[in-house]
Structure 1
C-alpha cells in the first residue's frame, strides 16, 4: 500500500457512505408520496457498492424498489381511483432508519480513519524536525 492509499480508501468510503445517506434521505422524504393507481409509485433507490481492486469501495449502480408499490385506501384523495385507492411506495420506515444508522456509523468510521491517517502522516513528517 502506497503512502497515501489510506487516505484514498477513507475518501472513497466517505463518498460511498454519503451516497448511501443521500439515497436514504430521498427515500424517507418520499415515503408519503402517492400516485394514481394507473401510474407507478415512487421508487426507492438503493446504491450497490463494489470493492475497488486497489482497495476501497465504489458505487457500481443503483437498484430501485418495485414501481407497483402498494395500494392504499384513500377515498378522499383527488388521486384516488374509482375504488378509493392510490399507489404508495413500498418503503418501510423502520428499515430505512436502520439503514441510515448503518450508513452514519460507516461515515463516522471513515472520518475517524481520515483523522488518524492525517495524524500518522503528520508525525512521520515531523520526525527529525527540530523545534
Structure 2
C-alpha cells in the first residue's frame, strides 16, 4: 500500500472518529437534561459506521436513543409534574465515557498513521531528490 492510499484511508478514519467524538460530546453534555413528563427526553445520538471495501470507513448515518427516557422522582424540581416526576435521558454515562476513550484513541491512532505516511512520503521525495 502506498503513502497516498494510507493517507486516504487514515483521512476517512479521522473524519469518522471526529463525528463519533462530536456525537458523544453532545450526549454527555445533555446527560442531565430535565424535561417535563409530557415531553420527550433528550435522545442520544449514536453514529452508524460503514466499512469500505478499500479499507476506509464512512459514516452511514445516525441512530437516535429512546425518547421515552426515564422517570425520576424529584418533587422539588420546577418541571416536576403533580406526582413529582421529571423525565431524564436514558443514558448510561459509563458506556458514553468508555466510548469517548475509544473514539479519542482511534482518532489519535489515525493522526499517527497520517503522520507516519507523510514522513514516509517526504523521505521518498528526499531520496528521489538526491
TM-score, with length taken from structure 2: 0.95
SS at match of 1:58: strand
Q: How many residues align?
A: 130
Q: Does 1:20 align with 2:20?
A: yes
| d(CA) in 1 for partners of 2:2, 2:109 | 21
SS at match of 2:125: helix
Deviation at 1:128, TM superposition (A): 3.5
* RMSD, aligned α-carbons: 1.2
Q: Does 1:88 align with 2:88?
A: yes
SS at match of 2:129: coil
| d(CA) in 1 for partners of 2:28, 2:91 | 8
Q: Quick check: which one's helix share is greater?
A: 2
Deviation >4 Å, runs of 4+: none
| d(CA) in 2 for partners of 1:22, 1:111 | 17
What residue number does 1:115 align with? 115
User: Is contact 2:3–2:118 with CA below 8 Å preserved after alignment?
Assistant: no
User: Is contact 2:41–2:88 with CA below 8 Å preserved after alignment?
Assistant: yes
SS at match of 2:128: coil
| d(CA) in 2 for partners of 1:49, 1:92 | 21
Q: Which runs of 5+ in 2 are unaligned?
A: none
What residue number does 1:100 align with? 100
SS at match of 1:67: coil
Deviation at 1:2, TM superposition (A): 5.5
| d(CA) in 2 for partners of 1:30, 1:11 | 29
Deviation at 1:3, TM superposition (A): 4.9
